[in-house]
Amino acid sequence: PLPPELRESPPIILIVDDEVEVLELLKSVMHTGEEELELLCARGGVEALLMIGERKPDLLILDIMMPGMNGYEVCSKLKASASTQNIKIVAITGNHDPTVRERILRSGADLFFTKPLNVREFRSECLKLMQS
């Protein structure tokens, strides 16, 4: 076996949602495969940005509608900074208004999904995006 210092660390995924049930669901969805993933969770936009300042994730799964700092603001801040602009962002929301999709993609999200999620497709697209 490879010594720990030579092993590649697993990709980091930060899941951001103000609802604990959604965080738990997304964690279990992302853990269903064989891939080794490190999952982190934040309950809001400010907490997410603080966490990203300490450990930059490879993928951010971001709820759009949150109290305080919403997903649009988080997305815009990350894409405006050279050190975080390459983080892949998957935005999710329960709002089915087409203008929400347009606005979050303009803010810098790479993918957009509405709840309820097709979990197989969601997971597959997240992994594919992380590898691109």
- Whether the per-residue pLDDT at 9 is higher than 90: the answer is no
Residue 44: what pLDDT?
97
Rounded Cα distance between 106 and 116, Å, is 23
- Whether the per-residue pLDDT at 76 is higher than 80: the answer is yes
- Beta strand pairing call for 12-16 and 111-114: unpaired
Q: Average pLDDT of 35-59?
A: 96
* pLDDT band for position 109 (cuts 50, 70, 90): very high
- Whether the per-residue pLDDT at 105 is higher than 90: the answer is yes
Residue 33: what pLDDT?
87
**What are the pLDDT digits (tens) for 86-98?**
999 999 999 999 9
* pLDDT band for position 4 (cuts 50, 70, 90): low
- Whether the per-residue pLDDT at 24 is higher than 80: the answer is yes
- φ/ψ of 26, rounded to 5, equals -65, -35
Q: What is the DSSP string of 17-77?
A: -S-HHHHHHHHHHHTSSSS--EEEEESSHHHHHHHHHHS--SEEEEES--SSS-HHHHHHH
**Of 32, 34, 38, 35, whose CA–CA distance to 14 is shortest?**
38
Cα torsion angle, 77, 131, 30, 114, sign: positive
Rounded Cα distance between 106 and 102, Å, is 6
- The contacts of residue 48 (CB under 8 Å, 6+ apart) are 14, 16, 42, 60, 62, 74
Q: Average pLDDT of 102-107?
A: 97
